[in-house]
Amino acid sequence: MSKANRKIAILFILPVIIFYLIMAIYPFASMIYESFTNLNLTIANSGQFIGLSNYFEIFQDPLALSSIDFSAMVIYIGVPIEILLGLVFAYLIRGLKGEKVFRTLFLIPMMIPGIVFGIAAQMIFNYLFGAANYFLSFFGVQPVAWLGQASTAQFVIIFLDVLQWTPFVFLIIYAGLLSVPQDLTDAAKVDGANGWQTFLHVEFPTLRPLLYVALIIRVIDALKIFGKIYMTTWGGPGTATSSWSFYIYKVGVSYGWDIGYASALAVILLIVSTILVNILIRFLNLGEQLGISKES
Amino acid sequence: MRPRTKRRVVNSVRYFFTILTLVVFLFPAYWITITAFKPASEWNEWPPHFWPYHPTLSNFFGGTSVSSIEGILPFLRNSLVIATIVSVVTAVIALLAAYSIARFKTGGMGLAGWIISMRMLPPVTIVIPLYVIYAKVNLLNTWTGLILIYLVPAIALGVWILITFINQIPKELDEAAKIDGASNLQIFTRVILPLSLSGVAAVMVLTFIQTWSEFLLATILTSNSASQTLPVYLGRFITGYNIAWGALSAAGLITMLPVIVFGIIFQRYLISGLTFGAVKY
């Protein structure tokens, strides 16, 4: 690289690097340090080094374990449903007259802020006047206190996640279907393959990498679920719908300003997320996509 | 059954299920919208009213600070100012970095991956240490504090989008300008900048709507109307036993409407941005 090129290359990248050093690296480093201390904002002179105690505490804290459990539940129940429904809807509207309009309408849920979703859920799943109980009454079902019991509250949170993010998975699959070469499906038909066989042997192999991408992005994002919980159940009843992110918020902010312990929980979440993000970057083949990996 | 009749039946079934799915998925947005125009007597009605029987604007104007959203203006102002500044700063910093990475491969894949990963990390992990830091440097409850943290994911997304845009500008243009005696800086301002303006616009819109919707960071780092944004205003509204559903929905409508409108207009960029280029329309 010539000297003039190197000068401008470095000059232009510098703002980003300085910014992230201050706003990401420094906070993350101080979080890792604080995770080894007993820093509590309500206790004067706290912040002594206590080694790995915070990390050991996680394994003995039933609330931490149950919040990790619930986050896992959102992932292993919600995400497969999102992928399945996304797949079904992509096939449902493909080739229908007006599919562009349907596609655009189906985009709307993923654009709605999670917090607004929460308000809608508060009304729809209200025990006394909610539309959900009204619909169920047609089938003779007695009114359900949706947000008042552990299992139904968990159902509501996962249901909201599905409502909001199925469209996202759908979009990925739908775009993937458009990219299946037409002559491949035609050839399969000529060979006498029925719809199911075409799907299994022609379309699914094309979709598979995209399904992985959708899966990883959804898992990363499901770990962040917060606004909907804050607005509907506030983690309750008890701790039934307290997710990992929400529990960190409760420990670190709303309940006791226990920064040391919250940091330890956050460090583990950060590690898990970082691993997933790195897998994603590999899967997306980002280097090639951005034209960086190829030498020029 | 004749094939044509069969096809017609199949299509009718498909339309039926498509519309049913859309009804379910759009129901929350619909419910927010109609409740925003319901008078107080219809909020808790049983059976629920599926459209406002007596539509009213009283949830938006008039009434007290709890029964309508008269008090929304400072929050609206905060949201507009913060989202606008974040969009502009993101566009500038990200374009510079994207030019450097796209044309000179600065830092290689390691640096690009590192920057892009900043967008995917859980916000709750950064807000805990940041709260402590902000308390020390007096950035709690300020516009500046929120703007700085919102720039973290925004710049990451911006860099990624703009790299793909700059890659589409033929390198021959750079070289032709160089032969004409242009310096690197002139190439950037006269060739790259004008040709990546649509990318810059996409970055600004995406940044705006994502900043606009953010809740977790805003609710922790701000404490009153001096800097709280619309989603925090919504979160605070839901106190007490008698929740003013109409007013709450009106505020919800104001919060989601710009996002939906912008989102639909710019759906191409929104989708490719959210999926990191896995999806292109």
In chain A the first and final C-alpha atoms are separated, in Å, by 11
Mean pLDDT of A121-127: 92
What CA–CA distance (Å, rounded) separates B66 from B207?
A: 31
Res. A294: pLDDT tops 80: no
Residues 116-175 of B with CB under 8 A from A: 116-118, 120-126, 128-133, 135, 148-149, 151-152, 155, 159-160, 163-164, 167
The Cβ of residue A236 has, within 10 Å, a number of other Cβ atoms equal to 15
Nearest to B37 by CA among B46, B49, B25: B49
Q: What is the pLDDT of residue A295?
A: 45
The yes-or-no verdict on residue A293 having pLDDT over 70 is no
- For residue B242, give the DSSP letter: S
Q: For residue B217, list chain A residues with Cβ-Cβ distance below 8 A.
A: none
Matching residue, tokens 């859920």: A121
Query: Out of A27, A120, A230, whose CB is closest to B28?
Result: A120
CA-CA distance, A162 to A83, in Å (whole number)? Answer: 9
Partner residue facing B31 (CB), from A9, A10, A131: A131
Q: With CB atoms and an 8 Å threshold, state whether B25 touches A163.
A: yes
**What is the per-residue pLDDT for A43?**
86
First to last CA, chain B: 38
- Could A248 and B220 be called an inter-chain contact, meaning their C-beta atoms sit closer than 8 Å? no
Q: State the helix-helix crossing angle for A99-111 and B267-274, rounded to 10 degrees.
A: 60
| Amino acid of residue B77 | R
Kindly identify which residue of chain A lies nearest to residue B124, measuring between CA atoms.
Answer: A245
pLDDT (average), residues B232-254? 82
How far B53 CA lies from chain A's nearest CA (Å)? 16
pLDDT score, position B278: 67
Helix (H, G, I), strand (E, B) or coil at A37: strand
Rg (CA), chain A: 24
Q: What is the rounded distance in angstroms from the CA atom of residue A121 to the CA atom of residue B32? A: 10
Give me the amino acid identity at A160: L
- The per-residue pLDDT for range B22-61, each reduced to its tens digit, is 999 999 999 999 999 998 888 888 888 889 998 888 888 8
Q: Which helix (H) or strand (E) holds A143?
A: none
In Å, the largest CA–CA distance within chain A is 79
Hey, is the C-beta of A101 within 8 angstroms of any chain B C-beta?
no
Encode pLDDT of B180-227 as tens digits.
Answer: 888 888 999 999 999 988 889 889 988 998 899 999 999 999 998 899
pLDDT tens for A9-66 read 999 999 999 999 999 999 999 999 999 999 998 888 888 899 899 999 999 999 999 9
A46: buried, middle or exposed (CB in 10 Å: 19+, 13-18, 0-12)? Answer: middle
Q: Which of B211, B103, B76 is nearest to A10 (CA)?
A: B103
Q: Do A115 and B231 touch (CB under 8 A)?
A: yes
User: Residues of chain B with pLDDT > 90: what percent?
Assistant: 49
**Would residue B185 be called left, alpha or beta, if left means φ above 0 and alpha means ψ between -120 and 50 degrees?**
alpha
Q: Which of B31, B35, B184 sits opposite A5 (nearest CB)?
A: B184
Looking at residue A296, its pLDDT comes to 41
Supply the pLDDT for residue A68.
94
**A273 interfaces chain B, CB cutoff of 8 Å:** yes
Residue A277: which of B120, B183, B220 has the nearest Cβ? B120
The better pLDDT of the pair A191, A144 is held by A144
Which site among B105, B125, B169, B242 would you substitute to test the A interface, given the most A Cβ atoms closer than 10 Å to its Cβ? B125
Query: What would the pLDDT profile of B88-127 be if each residue is shown by its tens digit?
Result: 999 999 999 999 999 988 888 888 888 988 888 899 999 9
Q: What angle do CA B63, B69, B71 make, to 5 degrees?
A: 95
Which residue, A94, A30, A57, A91, is CA-closest to A270? A30
Whether the CB of B13 is below 8 Å from some CB of chain A: the reply is no
The answer to whether the CB atoms of A286 and B116 lie below 8 A apart is yes
Q: Is B79 on the interface with A (CB under 8 A)?
A: no
Buried b (16+ CB within 10 A) or exposed e, A158-172: bbbbbbbbbbbbbbb
Cα–Cα distance list, B245 to A120, A173, B211, B249 (Å): 10, 37, 25, 6
Contact B102, B161 (CB under 8 A): no
Whether residue A1 has pLDDT greater than 80: no
| Chain A stretch 44-83, residues whose beta carbon is closer than 8 A to a beta carbon of chain B | none
- Check if the beta carbon of residue B59 is closer than 8 Å to that of residue B247: yes
Sign of the alpha-carbon dihedral angle for A18, A20, A22, A23? positive
Q: Name every chain A residue with its beta carbon within 8 A of the beta carbon of B109.
A: 286-287, 292-293
| Cβ contacts of A201 within 8 Å, gap of 6 or more | A188, A193
Subunit contact B184:A34, Cβ cutoff 8 A: no
A134 in contact with chain B, both atoms CB, cutoff 8 A: yes
Is the model more confident about A227 or about B277? A227
Question: Radius of gyration (Cα) for chain B, nearest Å?
Answer: 24
Q: For residue B3, what pLDDT is reported?
A: 77
